[in-house]
Amino acid sequence: MTGTIAYLALGSNLGDRLATLAGAYATLAAYPEVTPLQTSRLYETAPVGGPGGQGRFLNAALKIETALGPEALLDACMSVEQGYHRERIIRWDARTLDLDILLYGDAVISTERLEIPHPRMHLRRFVLVPLSDVAADVVHPRLNRTIAELLADLPVENGDVYPVADTWTNPR
Q: Which residues are catalytic?
A: 86, 95, 98, 100
Burial zone of 147 (CB within 10 Å; 0-12 exposed, 13-18 middle, 19+ buried)? buried
Reduce the DSSP state of residue 38 to 3 states and report it: strand
CB 124 within 8 A of CB 49: no
Peptide bond into 70 cis (omega under 30): no
